[in-house]
């Protein structure tokens, strides 16, 4: 005669099942319940994550500190630009203003203070929807890009952009005179990750380029997300492929793990403050 499993043993088995799955994802799964509601601990965790995401969006970028860190990487003194959005509230309400450089006095070019280097690669660090992500990962990510790209390409002095969307990088790149622009930008915070950094690559950038003309690496936030060295390697492969194809975007593949352009994994447009 066999005995039926007890309720307690079923519960323990269920908890083990969910615990093993939680090791593979940051998503909220198997939260359990107390009556018809979530357990108090899970509710508190959700509220804390929501508060962290809001803080990531609204906390201002520490520009002076970031300029000092990035300038210390040896590419030259970092310039600073702002978008046409006058403050954070307008930036969130008007994405279109975040794609345009701030207006300058009459007769002066909006980006006249950005040095025209004519380098092959330009790097723009944009606060995006998570200045926290740029603060925590921007300098280390630029250092990894320098290590990967500098032996092969000339790199212009970086530019820091505030209240910025991805397309602002096209205007900055035109002023820099670079062949390829790499925009590091804080991605839209979620309830699992509030400090995720994205990289958008545009070859032959100019105002009017669309998302179809770009390639994106997202979810950069080691140790849980993509690491700096790995992201830099993939980006270097994309730069090489773009120079061969003469364009970036939907036709460009990730060639960091292949020998031929046009094979491999597509790096698609991911989540971000476009």
Structure tokens at 111: 């980006």
Greater model confidence, 19 or 72 = 72
Structure tokens at 155: 């790199």
Mean pLDDT of the region 147-166:
96
In this model, does residue 195 exceed pLDDT 80?
A: yes
Query: Where do the structural domains in the chain lie, given as residue ranges?
Result: 58-266
198: left (phi over 0), alpha (psi -120 to 50) or beta: beta
> Taking a C-beta distance cutoff of 8 angstroms, is the pair 146, 155 a contact?
yes
Mean pLDDT of the region 32-52:
85
Give tens-digit pLDDT for 68-122: 999 999 999 999 999 999 999 999 999 999 999 998 765 566 798 899 999 999 9
Check the CA dihedral 169-173-179-184 and report its sign: negative
Task: Report residue 11's pLDDT band, with 50, 70 and 90 as the boundaries.
Answer: low
Task: Report residue 269's pLDDT band, with 50, 70 and 90 as the boundaries.
Answer: very low
Against a cut of 0.85, is the pTM above it?
no
pLDDT for res 14:
72
Q: Which of 229, 226, 247 is nearest to 238 (CA)?
A: 247
pLDDT for res 270:
42
CATH (residue range 58-266): 3.40.50.11240
Task: Report residue 1's pLDDT band, with 50, 70 and 90 as the boundaries.
Answer: very low
> DSSP secondary structure string, the chain?
-PPPPPHHHHHHHHHHHHHHHHTT-SS------BTTB--HHHHHHHHHHHHHHHHHHHSPP-HHHHHHHHHTTTT-PPEEEEBS--SHHHHHH-TTGGGSBPP-STTS-TTTTS-----SEEEEEE-TT-HHHHHHHHHHHHHHHHHHHTTTS-BPPPEEEES--TTHHHHHHHHHT-SEEEEEEEPPP-SS-S--EEEEEEES--TT--GGGEEEEEEE-TTTSB-HHHHHHHHHHHHHHHHHHT--STT-EE-TT-SSTT-SEE----S---
Structure tokens at 238: 């994309």
pLDDT for res 259:
47
């Amino acid at each position: 005669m066999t005995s039926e499993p007890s309720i307690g043993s079923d519960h323990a088995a269920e908890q083990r099942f969910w615990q093993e799955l939680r090791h593979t994802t940051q998503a909220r799964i198997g939260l359990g319940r107390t009556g018809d509601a979530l357990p108090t601990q899970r509710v508190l965790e959700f509220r804390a994550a929501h508060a962290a995401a809001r803080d990531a969006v609204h906390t201002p970028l520490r520009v002076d500190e970031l300029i000092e860190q990035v300038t210390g990487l040896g590419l030259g003194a970092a310039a600073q630009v702002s978008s046409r959005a006058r403050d954070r509230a307008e930036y969130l309400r008007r994405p279109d203003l975040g794609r345009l450089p701030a207006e300058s006095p009459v007769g002066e070019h909006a980006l006249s203070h950005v040095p025209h280097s004519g380098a092959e690669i330009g790097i723009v660090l944009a606060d995006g929807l998570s200045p926290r992500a740029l603060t925590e990962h921007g300098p280390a990510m630029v250092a990894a890009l320098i290590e990967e790209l500098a032996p092969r390409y000339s790199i212009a002095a970086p530019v820091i952009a505030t209240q910025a969307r991805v397309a602002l990088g096209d205007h900055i790149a035109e002023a820099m005179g670079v062949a390829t622009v790499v925009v590091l930008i804080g991605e839209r915070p979620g309830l699992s990750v509030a400090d995720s950094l994205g990289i958008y690559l545009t070859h032959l950038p100019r105002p009017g380029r669309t998302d179809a003309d770009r390639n994106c690496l997202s979810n950069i936030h080691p140790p849980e997300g993509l690491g700096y060295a790995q992201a830099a390697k993939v980006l270097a492969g994309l730069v090489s492929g773009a120079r061969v194809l003469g364009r970036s975007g939907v036709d460009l593949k990730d060639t960091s793990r292949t020998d031929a352009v046009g094979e491999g994994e597509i790096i698609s447009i991911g989540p971000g403050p476009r």
